[in-house]
Structure 1
Amino acid sequence: MKGFVLLFGVSFLSACTSVTAVNSRQDGHLTVTSRARWDIVSWNRVRTAGLHKAEDYCEKQKKQLHTVEIHSEGLHGVTTQTVEVIFDCI
C-alpha cells in the first residue's frame, strides 16, 4: 500500500511540471527549461525537474552534469514559475 501511495505521489508531482527538450546555445552550453503547470508548485520542485532532465541527458552520454547557471522567474502562489538550467556534460 505504501508503495502505491509513493508511486501516486511521484506521478502527481511529475504532472505538476513540464520540461523542454535539451537545447544547444550559441555559447556552447546546453539548456533546459522547466515550468510549473500550477501556481502552487514550489520553486524547488520546478528546479529539480529541470536538473533531473539535464542529469539524464548527460548520463546517456556517459558524462557528468556540470551546472553553469540556473535562472528563475515567477513567484510561488502568484505567477507560474519557470527555471532555466544552463549546463555542460563533462
Structure 2
Amino acid sequence: MTVAGCEVRLHDTTLYNSLFRYDDILLVNPHVLGQPASTNPILHLKWAGAGGWFDDYAHSFDHVWVRAHPWTPEHEGTTTHGQD
C-alpha cells in the first residue's frame, strides 16, 4: 500500500531512540536499555526557530535518512537489517 507523501526507509544504524518526523513536528521515543519502546516516554517537539532540540534530532534523522534505503512491500522479509 502506498500513501502519497509518506515513505518508510530501512537502515542498520545503531540508534538510541526512534524518530518520527512530520514536517515541523518530531516525535522522539528515547530507548531505555532492557525496556520495550512502548514503555518509554515520547518527546513531542515542534520547530520554533533555529537551534535547540528539534534541530539536533532533525539533523540526526536526516543523517540516517539519506543513507537508508526505501522499504517496499514486495521486499518484506528478504533483507536483513538492524537487529534482525
TM-score, structure 2 as length reference:
0.29
* Larger RCO, structures 1/2 (Cα 8 Å, 6+ apart): 2
Name the TM-score, length of structure 1 as normaliser.
0.27
